[in-house]
């Protein structure tokens, strides 16, 4: 596609801190290249704000190559913007037209409170992982691949689930603010492999207990999460989690 | 993990919705099947015989108690889930996420459920309560249920209320059927596809059959 420049109106959520009520502020940006990334466009706006002696807009980012899960942003009604299977940092300005108005909001969920502007506190995800998203045996050095036979399909499903980067877009898109797609990706990723198998029952129980404690909602299988997930994590992982949970509760010791 | 912990967790609550939902789906099969006897067009002989059996045989009477327990659980848990899920996002988005990846009815199960509940109260007051009151205890003499249907469904507004009630049920089932199986852990893609298709088919056929009943009387398709 031809390269082009554009002028845009940005409606950005500004909020000083957790307690502040916050509200939208409107900004104009000029001569934005279609080849820029969305975050580079925000960098330009921030440079502009700093030069004017104003407070820069706070937003999360780290790798800027779609692998770390740090970037967020709810852009024009969709987490990570309208491109499918894509993160905000990999959203490019050619997704927009000259003269467009773009509305940028933070993830909205009580379990993800806003820290400042567009930055939300996602440490609830970390605590869910701490509750069981790991293998606790000391595995030493990596084994020779051929010593550990794993069904190819299981390995593939596990790998697909392991793609989850913990960005929280699934929560942001869900009408129930449920974290089930994220938790199910972690549960599936480990339960499908022999290393994760021994702890699979306690893992699913503990992670769900923590998810509930953090104030995420219950899943009602609408499918909104799957459609927005940058790593296209499958909804069938949620069903797998349900199966693991049912199995774990039926075979619990007490 | 105690049972209490299981059934108060978010997944456990969904399991209750799912088990009771599947039980209610099975009930619908019986209900629609039995009611279809009106189309024998024999002046209600076959239908009334079925209704008599359901009211006087001990097995359906016991199942009926189970049905009410299941129904109550489904309603109470459903309302609690809906309220709890709604409380998880205090600040709403300025721009709605809309239909991306999900159908409107999958996001409106609480609303559809409430409409069905309202319809159910009307429906039970119309038929079930007077019928059971006359069967055996209280008022003696069994009601001719077929004649009662004929009378009820001679009024257009009643027919319209029933049509709307059944449509709510249809959309509730269109999501509920497949969701119930996902919740009990069916994760195989092929099974899910089959169950989703079966769910859509079931919702359409059952809803259509139920809707046709009042209309059949109203339009004098059956006598
Ligand atoms: S499941 Fe997808 S949307 Fe959810 S945290 Fe993982 S990568 Fe992000
Ligand atoms: S900044 Fe790392 S995924 Fe976007």
Q: Is A62 in the pocket of ligand 2 (CB under 6 A)?
A: yes
Query: Over the stretch B130-154, which tens digit does the pLDDT of each residue have?
Result: 887 777 655 667 788 899 899 999 9
Edge-to-edge strand order for the sheet containing A5-14? Answer: A23-33, A5-14, A101-105, A74-75, A78-79
Query: Does the pLDDT of residue A7 top 90, yes or no?
Result: yes
Contact A221 B189 (CB under 8 A): no
End-to-end alpha carbon distance in chain B: 59
Q: What is the pLDDT of residue A178?
A: 97
Distance of CA B77 from the midpoint of ligand 1 (Å): 28
CA–CA min distance A145, chain B (Å): 27
Among B residues 60-89, those touching chain A with beta carbons less than 8 Å apart: 81, 84-85, 87-89
Q: Does B22 touch chain A (CB under 8 A)?
A: no
Count of beta carbons in the 10 Å neighbourhood of residue A204: 30
Burial category of A245 from C-beta neighbours within 10 Å (exposed 0-12, middle 13-18, buried 19 and up) = buried
Q: What is the pTM of this model?
A: 0.93
Q: Give the residue, by CA position, lying nearest to ligand 1 atom 5.
A: A166
Q: What is the pLDDT of residue B139?
A: 61
Distance of CA B122 from the midpoint of ligand 2 (Å): 55
Residue B187 located in a structural domain? yes
Mean pLDDT across A220-248: 96
Mean pLDDT across B42-67: 88
CA A141 to chain centroid, in Å, comes to 30
Q: What distance in Å separates the CA atoms of residue B46 and residue B51, rounded to the nearest whole number?
A: 9
Q: What distance in Å separates the CA atoms of residue A138 and residue A134, rounded to the nearest whole number?
A: 11
Closest ligand 2 atom number to CA of residue A62: 1
Instruction: Confirm if B170 and B206 have CB atoms less than 8 A apart.
Output: yes
Interface pTM, i.e. ipTM = 0.90
Query: Does the pLDDT of residue A232 top 70, yes or no?
Result: yes
Closest ligand 2 atom number to CA of residue A67: 3
Residue B96 located in a structural domain? no
Contact A236 B188 (CB under 8 A): yes
Mean pLDDT across B188-194: 89
Instruction: Confirm if A119 and A127 have CB atoms less than 8 A apart.
Output: no
Q: Domain span at residue B153?
A: 9-86+106-218
Q: Is A6 in the pocket of ligand 1 (CB under 6 A)?
A: no
What average pLDDT does chain B have? 91
Q: What is the pLDDT of residue A219?
A: 96
Identify the residue whose tokens are 């002046």: B43
Q: Which residue of A has its CA nearest to B191?
A: A236
- How large a percentage of chain A has pLDDT more than 90? 89
Distance of CA A189 from the midpoint of ligand 1 (Å): 13
Domain count, chain B: 1
Q: Does B185 touch chain A (CB under 8 A)?
A: yes
Instruction: Confirm if B159 and B215 have CB atoms less than 8 A apart.
Output: yes
Q: What is the pLDDT of residue B140?
A: 64
Contact B182 A235 (CB under 8 A): yes
Q: What is the pLDDT of residue B189?
A: 85
Closest ligand 1 atom number to CA of residue A163: 7
Q: Which of B9, B12, B98 is nearest residue A77 as measured by Cβ atoms?
A: B98
Contact B93 A224 (CB under 8 A): no
Q: Give the residue, by CA position, lying nearest to ligand 2 atom 3.
A: A66
Q: Which residue of A has its CA nearest to B86?
A: A176
Domains of chain A, earliest start first: 5-116 (3.10.20.30), 123-251 (1.10.1060.10)
Mean pLDDT across B200-216: 96
Contact A208 B11 (CB under 8 A): yes
Contact A173 B101 (CB under 8 A): yes
| DSSP secondary structure string for all residues of A117-162 | TTEE--HHHHHHHHTT-S--S---SPPPGGGS---HHHHHHHHHHH
Tokens standing for A45? 């706006």
Mean pLDDT across A238-244: 96
Burial category of A218 from C-beta neighbours within 10 Å (exposed 0-12, middle 13-18, buried 19 and up) = buried
Residue B2 located in a structural domain? no
Q: Give the residue, by CA position, lying nearest to ligand 1 atom 2.
A: A229
Residue B3 located in a structural domain? no
Query: Over the stretch A49-70, which tens digit does the pLDDT of each residue have?
Result: 999 999 999 999 999 999 999 9
Cross-strand bridge partners of residue A217: A178
Residue B94 located in a structural domain? no
Query: Over the stretch A82-140, which tens digit does the pLDDT of each residue have?
Result: 999 999 999 999 999 999 999 999 999 999 999 999 999 999 999 999 999 998 877 67
Query: Does the pLDDT of residue B114 top 80, yes or no?
Result: yes
Mean pLDDT across B198-218: 96
Which numbered ligand comes closest to the C-alpha of A232? 1
Of A64, A80, A122, A230, the residue with max ligand 2 atoms within 8 A of its CB, to mutate for a pocket test, comes to: A64
Q: Is A229 in the pocket of ligand 1 (CB under 6 A)?
A: yes
Mean pLDDT across A196-219: 94
Residue B98 located in a structural domain? no
Residue B223 located in a structural domain? no
Query: Over the stretch A134-163, which tens digit does the pLDDT of each residue have?
Result: 988 776 787 787 888 899 999 999 999 999
Residue B179 located in a structural domain? yes
Q: What is the pLDDT of residue A139?
A: 65
Q: What distance in Å separates the CA atoms of residue A209 and residue A223, rounded to the nearest whole number?
A: 22
- Residue A69, SS3 per DSSP: coil
């Amino acid at each position: 596609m031809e390269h082009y420049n554009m002028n845009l109106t940005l409606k950005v959520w500004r909020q000083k801190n957790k307690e502040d009520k916050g509200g939208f502020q409107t900004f104009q940006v000029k001569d934005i290249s279609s080849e820029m990334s969305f975050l580079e466009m925000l960098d330009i706006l921030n440079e502009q704000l700093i030069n004017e002696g104003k407070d820069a807009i706070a937003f999360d980012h780290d790798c800027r190559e779609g692998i770390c899960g740090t970037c967020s942003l709810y852009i024009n009604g969709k987490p990570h913007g309208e491109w499918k299977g894509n993160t905000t940092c990999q959203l490019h300005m050619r997704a927009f037209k000259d003269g467009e108005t773009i509305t940028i909001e933070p993830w909205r969920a009580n379990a993800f409170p806003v820290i400042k502007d567009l930055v939300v506190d996602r440490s609830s995800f970390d605590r869910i992982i701490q509750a069981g998203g790991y293998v606790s045996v000391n595995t030493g050095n990596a084994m020779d691949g051929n010593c550990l036979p794993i069904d190819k399909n299981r390995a593939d499903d596990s790998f697909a689930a392991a793609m989850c980067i913990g960005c929280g877009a699934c929560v942001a898109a869900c009408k129930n603010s449920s974290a089930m797609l994220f938790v199910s990706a972690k549960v599936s990723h480990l339960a499908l492999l022999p290393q994760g198998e021994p702890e699979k029952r306690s893992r699913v129980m503990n992670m769900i207990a923590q998810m509930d404690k953090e104030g995420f909602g219950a899943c009602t299988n609408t499918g909104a999460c799957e459609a927005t997930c940058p790593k296209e994590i499958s909804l069938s992982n949620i069903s797998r989690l349900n199966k693991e949970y049912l199995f774990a509760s039926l075979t619990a010791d007490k | 993990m105690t049972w209490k912990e299981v059934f108060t967790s978010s997944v456990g609550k969904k399991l209750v919705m799912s088990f009771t939902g599947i039980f209610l789906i099975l009930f619908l099969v019986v209900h629609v099947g039995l009611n279809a006897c009106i189309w024998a067009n024999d002046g209600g002989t076959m239908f009334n015989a079925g209704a008599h059996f359901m009211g006087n045989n001990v097995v359906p009477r016991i199942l009926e108690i189970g049905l009410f327990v299941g129904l109550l659980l489904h309603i109470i848990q459903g309302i609690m889930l809906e309220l709890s899920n709604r409380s998880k996002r205090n600040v709403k988005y300025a721009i709605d996420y809309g239909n991306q990846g999900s159908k409107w009815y999958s996001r409106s199960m609480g609303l559809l459920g409430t409409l069905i509940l309202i319809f159910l109260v009307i429906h039970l007051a119309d038929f079930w309560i007077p019928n059971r009151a006359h069967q055996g205890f209280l008022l003696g003499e069994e009601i001719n249920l077929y004649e009662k249907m004929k009378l009820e469904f001679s009024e257009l507004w009643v027919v319209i209320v029933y049509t709307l009630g059944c449509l709510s049920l249809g959309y509730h089932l269109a999501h509920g059927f497949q969701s119930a199986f996902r919740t009990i852990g069916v994760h195989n893609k092929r099974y899910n596809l089959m169950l989703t298709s079966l769910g859509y088919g079931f919702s359409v056929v059952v809803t259509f059959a139920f809707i046709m009943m009042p209309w059949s009387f109203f339009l004098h398709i059956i006598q």
